[in-house]
Amino acid sequence: MRLPSTPRVEFLRTLADEILHHYGRGRTVISVDGSDASGRARVAEDLAEVLREDDERNVFSASLHFFQRSTAEQNAFGTPTPERRYRFGYDYSALRRVLVEPFRINGSAGFVMEHFDPDRDTWIEPTWSTTSPDAILIVEGEFANRPELHDLWLFSILVESGPETAADRLYRAEVAPRNLVDAVVDNTDAAAPRRLFLDSC
């Protein structure tokens, strides 16, 4: 279904056209990174809706929120600090094993969209999904371009809006995600986001 035209939708259509131009066939995995959880999630959700305007492929949305470590696992790395959250808050091995790697297999392999519920501190009973040969998976979450993850994405988006936490500042100092992603989006005005083209010189 075609969405009503707004500045936000038209911006995301331009981004979607770029993605489909380069990755219009096969299994495509996209990341949406950024420190503002609500802004980042909304960009991911809205981009998925825009991509669904093209009926030729299935589009899935997942969140790193559901691939965190349990409280007990995190406590094994010491008391809660921003650095502990950044370095040990997430189970990237599970993300690869049950979601991204099986999704990328162009066949009948099943994949799981949610692995752990951090709000209830409990594992989620897996629900396995399959899809067509041409499909897109959008994964949103903080620290999405850490070295353990960056090679998973064919296209990476960094959403900038709102203040940073101490963990975000550590991430930016170590990883410099602006230098790694394909698109930096200024979402300060959510109704009319804009792309930032950074001078690398």
- pLDDT, tens digit, 9 for 90 and up, residues 175-194: 999 999 999 999 999 999 99
Do the domain assignments include residue 117? yes
Report the pLDDT value the prediction gives residue 31, as an integer from 0 to 100. Answer: 98
Do the domain assignments include residue 10? no
Do the domain assignments include residue 98? yes
Report the pLDDT value the prediction gives residue 107, as an integer from 0 to 100. Answer: 77
Do the domain assignments include residue 175? no
**What is the average per-residue pLDDT within 153-161?**
97
Residue 187 sits in which domain range? 35-134+144-170+183-195
- pLDDT, tens digit, 9 for 90 and up, residues 44-83: 999 999 999 987 789 999 999 999 999 999 999 999 999 9
Do the domain assignments include residue 108? yes
Average pLDDT, the chain: 95
Report the pLDDT value the prediction gives residue 200, as an integer from 0 to 100. Answer: 53
Q: Which residues contact 78 (CB under 8 A, 6 or more apart)?
A: 84
Q: How far apart are CA 170 and CA 63, in angstroms?
A: 21
Both tokens of residue 190?
A: 């959510």
- pLDDT, tens digit, 9 for 90 and up, residues 8-46: 999 999 999 999 999 989 999 999 999 999 999 999 999
Q: Is the pLDDT at 122 greater than 70, yes or no? A: yes
Q: How far apart are CA 16 and CA 54, in angstroms?
A: 10
Q: Which residues contact 138 (CB under 8 A, 6 or more apart)?
A: 30, 31, 32, 44, 47, 48, 51, 59, 60, 61, 62
Q: For the chain, how many structural domains are there in total? A: 1
Q: What is the pTM of this model?
A: 0.95
Do the domain assignments include residue 155? yes
Both tokens of residue 112?
A: 């799981």
Q: How far apart are CA 169 and CA 82, in angstroms?
A: 10
Report the pLDDT value the prediction gives residue 201, as an integer from 0 to 100. Answer: 43
Do the domain assignments include residue 101? yes
Q: Which residue bears the tokens 């380069």? A: 22
Give 106's pLDDT tier (boundaries 50, 70, 90).
confident
Q: Give the CATH number, domain containing residue 115.
A: 3.40.50.300
Do the domain assignments include residue 17? no
